[in-house]
Structure 1
Amino acid sequence: MKRLLPIAALTLAASAEDAPDYSKMKADQLFETLCSSCHGKDLNSGLGGSLVDGQWKHGATDAEIRKSISEGNLQLGMTPFKTVLNDDQIRMLVIYIREKEKDALAKGIEYPKPEPGKITHTDHEDYKIEMVVEDGLDIPWAIGFLPDGRKLVTERPGRLRVIGTDGKLDPEPIQGTPAVIHHGQGGLMEVAIHPDYEHNGWIYLGFADGWRTEDDKPRTITKYVRGRIKDHQWVDEEEIWKADKEFYTDQGVHFGTRLVFDQGYIYFVIGERYGWKQAQDVKRPNGKIYRLFEDGRVPDDNPFVDTEGAIPGIWTYGHRNPQGLALDPRDGSLWETEHGPRGGDELNVIERGKNYGWPIITYGMNYDGTPITGETEKEGMEQPVIYWQPSIAACGLDFYTGDQFPEWKNDLFAGALAQQEVRRLRIVDHQVTEQEIVLKNIGRVRDVASGPDGYLYIILNDPHRVIRLVPAK
C-alpha cells in the first residue's frame, strides 16, 4: 500500500520535479531565471533595484555581493540562493553582474582616442601620436631597440623586421631566423635586445617551436634562443630554453612569451597551453615563469633545483597565459600581467618559488559563462595586486623610464588587446595607487615599450601598426 503524503509535501515534491536544472545553466541564463524578476533583464529595473549603477546598499566588494546572493535578506524580499546554487555558480553570478556594471558605468565616458596631429589630454601629461610604421607589417608582436637607433619588430607569421634609422621599414626581413610554427596564437613573438648589445651583439627570440605530423597537425610549445645579426642574416644561434618533446601539444593557445634581463639573469614566461592543472605541476613546463643565466644555465639558488623531478629553471608557477613582464627600475621587482579567462586578468608581483593559483583559484569564469571554481583565494597561493573584471586581455607591459614625460616617470604601462587600450598604473609600495586609461580604440594593443629616446612605443594589431607617444609641447 502506498504511503500518502501531506498536501504541502506533495506540493514541494511537485515543485522540485518542475524546477529547472541550474547546474546546466550559464551565467546569463541563471540571472534571467533567478534574478531578473526583481532586478530586470537589464539589471537596472524592478523592485530589487539596479545592480549596475555602482551603488551597493549591503556591501560593494565581490565577497559582500556573493554573501548577499548566498544568504539573501528575507526582510527585504531577497531570496537566499545557497540552497539551490553552489559556490561556483554564485561566484559566476558575481562575475556576470560585475561585467554588466562595468559596461553600464562606462557608457558616456569619453576615453582618450588620439588622432595624428591632435593633442590628447591625460591626468598628468598631454601627448600626440606619431606614426612609426603605418603599412607593411603582418601581426607585429614585440619591439626591441638597437643602440644605433634601429628597431626590431617581430611578426607572428615568422619574420623579424628592421625599422631603419631613417624611420622606414626595411622591406626585406632578416634572413635565417628560426623556423616557427604559426598556429593559432603562436608564431614568432618576443624579441629582446641584450643590455650590453654594443659589446656582445646578442638578440633573444621567443617563438612557437615544433613540427607538424603526417596529417598536418602541429605540435608546439614556446622556445627561446639567442643569436646575432650580421649582414642582414641571423647567425650564431644558441638555444636558451627548450621543453622536452613529450610536452609539445596540438593546442593553439596560451603560449605566453615575454623575456626581461636582470643583472646577468633572464626571466621569461611559458603559457599553460590550455593544460590547466599542469600549471600547478613543477614537473611540467607550462604555466611557469623561469629564471636562468643569460646563456641558459640554471642558477643553483633557483627554488626547485633540489625538488625531485621538477624542472630546475622554474621560478614561479600557477600561471595561465602571461604576456606582460617588466622590471621596476626603482627596486628591481618583477611584475607580470596575464590573461584570465572571462574576467580575472591579473597584475602580479613575481617572487621566488611562489604559486599564483591558476586554475585552483581565479577571479574569472569560462568564456561560455559556465563556472571554473568558486574559490578566489587559498592558503599558499598568491593574490594578484589587482585584477580586471571584465577582462582587458592584458598584453605588453613596461615601466616608463624616459625623460620626455616627467610626470609619468616610473609609472607602469599595460596594454590590452580586447579593450584596445593602454593603462597607466602608478605603483607605490607594490600597490596600485592610480589607474588611468591613456589611449583607447585605435587598435588591439600588443606591446608597450619605453624607448631609449624617451618616447612610449605601442604595437597595434588590426590595424597592424607601430606608433609612439610624444610630448604635446
Structure 2
Amino acid sequence: MKRLLPFALLPVTAFAQDTPDYSKMKADELFNTLCSSCHGKDLNSGLGGSLVDGQWKHGDTDADLRKSISEGNAQLGMTPFKTVLSDDQIRQLVIYVREKEKEALAKGIEYPKPEPGKVTHTDHADYQIEMVVENGLDIPWAIAFLPDGRKLVTERPGRLRLMGSDDTLDPQPIEGTPKVIHHGQGGLMEVAVHPDYAKNGWIYLGFADGERDGDKVRTITKYVRGRIKDHQWVDEEEIWKADDRFYGGDGVHFGTRLVFKDGYIFFPVGERGGWKQAQDITNAKGKIYRLNEDGSEPEDNPFVGQPGAVKGLWSYGHRNPQGLALDPRDGSIWETEHGPRGGDELNRIEGGKNYGWPIITYGMNYDGTPITGETEKEGMEQPVIYWQPSIAACGLDFYTGDAFPGWKNDLFAGALAQQEIRRLRIVDHKVTEQEVILKNIGRVRDVASGPEGALYVVLNDPHRIVRLVPAP
C-alpha cells in the first residue's frame, strides 16, 4: 500500500493577504481554492497525494478526515483550517471528498445490467429478467398484488390501473378514484392491499390531496381506503388527512408508502420542503404515523396526550421517506429516506424516536453549500447506513419468496438517480452485505416481492414494469 500524506492543503502564508469569503463558496469552489494546489483539481495528483484511491494513512472515517482538515499537521506542512472554516464548511469538504472518492472507485466496476434472454449473476442468486408491462403506463409509482393473481399499479398523474393475472394491462383506469393533485413530485403514489383482502376487500391509497386554482396549488399527502367493484372505486373512507393549515404549494417531498403490522398501518408524510417543521411534533410534515387500520389512533402511541401533537404520530425528524418495509422475521419497520446531497438514509423506525432532520445530516445542499456541521446529537437517531453519493432511495421490500433461497429475507432498495437495486443483508439490525444486483435499465420507483416468488421492479424513464425470475 502506498504511503499518503494526510489531507494536505494550502500553507499558512496563503492567509497573509486578502483572505476570500469562504462562507459564500460551494463545495467544489472551496476545494479548488484551498485544496487543489496540493491534491489537484481531480483529487488525484500533487504533493498531497490522492484523495480518491481509497487508501488513507491517517484514518479512513469521516471523523478522521474532519480532524485532518480542522487540525492539520505541522510536521507535514498541512494547515489547520479550524481558524478560517466553520464546522459546517469542514463537513462540506468531507462530503465533497467522499463523493469524489466513491465516484472514482466505482469507475471500471461492471454492474449487472440485465437483458431479456440472458442470465445475470449475483453473489447469491442468478436471475433472468422478464418484461411485464412495456407500454401504456405514465409514471408508474407503486405495485400491489391481489390474491387472485391480478395486480394494481398507480400512475402519478392520478390513475389506478389493473393488470390481469396474465399481466395484461387494462386500458381503462379504475373509475371514481380520489381527486389527485399532480404537482411536482406529488400525485397518486402508494397502493397497498390489506392482508385480509379476500375477506374485506380493502385497498389503501396514498396521494397528493388539495386544490388547484390556476397556477396556485395547495396540497399535502393524504391516505384513504376503498374497494373496487365492477371497475369502480367505492366505499371510500378517509384514513389520514392533515389539517388545512399544513397544505402548501411546494412540489417536493411528499414521502408516501404504507405497511401493515398487527392490525396497525404505518405510513410517512414528507416535510414538503419545510425543514424545521420535521422537528415540530405539532406539525404534520416530516413524520411517520401509526394508526389502526380504520384510521383511528391507538391509545398506546408515544405522543398521545402531549399537547398539540398531531394525530397518529409515531416518529419525527424525517425528510422525504419513499421506502417502507416490514421485516418478516421480527416485525421491525425499515425506511429509506431521500436526504440532501450525500445524505440518503436507511433507518430502523421505532416509536417516539427523533431521526434528526434537519438538525443532523450526512449531506449538504444540492448546490454544494453546507447545511450543518453536525452528524450526530444526543436524543437523535443515527441511520443504520447512509449513502454518499446519494442514490435517491425509492421503493423498499424484504424478499419473502422461495424462488430465490439465497435472497430469503434480504432487503431490496430501489434507487432513482443511480438507476439500481441494492440488496442488503441485515443481521441483528445491522447491514452485513450490500450488493448492486441491477443497474441502468431505468429509474427504480418501486421494488416488491411477488407472491409467486418473483421480484417486481417498477421503472420510470422508460415507464414499464419488469420482474426478476430464477435462471433456468
TM-score (normalizing by structure 1): 0.96
- CA distances 1:337-387 after superposition (whole Å, capped 9, x unpaired): 000000110000001100000000000000000000000000000000000
How much does 1:22 deviate?
0.5
| Secondary structure, aligned partner of 1:239 | strand
Counterpart residue number, 1:318: 317
Counterpart residue number, 2:102: 102
How much does 1:95 deviate?
0.3
CA distance in 1, matches of 2:211, 2:17: 53
CA distance in 1, matches of 2:166, 2:384: 41
1:201-220 matched pairs, under 5 angstroms: 201-213=201-213, 215-220=214-219
How much does 1:312 deviate?
2.9
Counterpart residue number, 2:124: 124
| Secondary structure, aligned partner of 2:413 | strand
Counterpart residue number, 1:31: 31
Counterpart residue number, 1:7: none
Counterpart residue number, 1:430: 429
CA distance in 1, matches of 2:17, 2:39: 26
Conservation of the 8 A alpha-carbon contact between 1:256 and 1:322: yes
Counterpart residue number, 2:391: 392
Counterpart residue number, 2:55: 55
CA distance in 2, matches of 1:424, 1:315: 27
Opposite residue 189 of structure 1, the aligned amino acid is M
How much does 1:216 deviate?
2.6
- CA distances 1:49-108 after superposition (whole Å, capped 9, x unpaired): 000000001010001000000001111121111111000000000000000001100000
Q: Which has the larger radius of gyration?
A: 1
How much does 1:18 deviate?
1.3
Conservation of the 8 A alpha-carbon contact between 1:206 and 1:258: yes
Displacement over 3 Å in runs of 4+ = 12-17
Counterpart residue number, 1:4: none
Counterpart residue number, 2:167: 167
CA distance in 2, matches of 1:39, 1:77: 14
- CA distances 1:269-295 after superposition (whole Å, capped 9, x unpaired): 000000000000000000000000000
How much does 1:166 deviate?
1.9
1:152 aligns with 2:164: no
CA distance in 2, matches of 1:21, 1:317: 36
Gaps of 5+ in 1: 1-11
How much does 1:16 deviate?
5.8
CA distance in 1, matches of 2:458, 2:311: 34
Counterpart residue number, 1:244: 243
How much does 1:15 deviate?
5.8
How much does 1:156 deviate?
0.1
CA distance in 2, matches of 1:195, 1:296: 16
What is the aligned residue count?
A: 461
CA distance in 2, matches of 1:181, 1:311: 23
Opposite residue 350 of structure 2, the aligned amino acid is E
CA distance in 1, matches of 2:296, 2:98: 45
| Secondary structure, aligned partner of 1:75 | helix
| Secondary structure, aligned partner of 1:226 | strand
Opposite residue 193 of structure 2, the aligned amino acid is I
| Secondary structure, aligned partner of 2:266 | strand
Cα 1:250–1:50, aligned 2, differ >3 Å: closer, same or farther? same
Opposite residue 343 of structure 2, the aligned amino acid is G
Conservation of the 8 A alpha-carbon contact between 1:420 and 1:440: yes
1:314-393 matched pairs, under 5 angstroms: 314-393=313-392
CA distance in 2, matches of 1:308, 1:13: 57
Answer with 44-53 or 14-23: which moved more. 14-23
| Secondary structure, aligned partner of 1:18 | coil
Gaps of 5+ in 2: 1-11
CA distance in 1, matches of 2:248, 2:64: 41
Counterpart residue number, 1:402: 401
Opposite residue 153 of structure 1, the aligned amino acid is V
Counterpart residue number, 2:5: none
1:452 aligns with 2:458: no
Conservation of the 8 A alpha-carbon contact between 1:302 and 1:312: no
CA distance in 2, matches of 1:47, 1:216: 55
CA distance in 2, matches of 1:19, 1:384: 37
**Identity across matched positions, percent:** 83
How much does 1:265 deviate?
0.3
TM-score (normalizing by structure 2): 0.97
Opposite residue 176 of structure 2, the aligned amino acid is G
1:235 aligns with 2:234: yes
1:221-232 matched pairs, under 5 angstroms: 221-232=220-231
How much does 1:263 deviate?
1.3
Opposite residue 464 of structure 1, the aligned amino acid is H
CA distance in 2, matches of 1:330, 1:170: 36
How much does 1:311 deviate?
0.9
Q: CA RMSD in A?
A: 1.2
Counterpart residue number, 1:5: none
Conservation of the 8 A alpha-carbon contact between 1:413 and 1:423: yes
Conservation of the 8 A alpha-carbon contact between 1:395 and 1:414: yes
Conservation of the 8 A alpha-carbon contact between 1:39 and 1:51: yes
1:417 aligns with 2:425: no
CA distance in 2, matches of 1:387, 1:103: 16
How much does 1:317 deviate?
0.1
How much does 1:19 deviate?
1.3
Counterpart residue number, 2:7: none
CA distance in 2, matches of 1:221, 1:120: 41
Conservation of the 8 A alpha-carbon contact between 1:338 and 1:346: yes
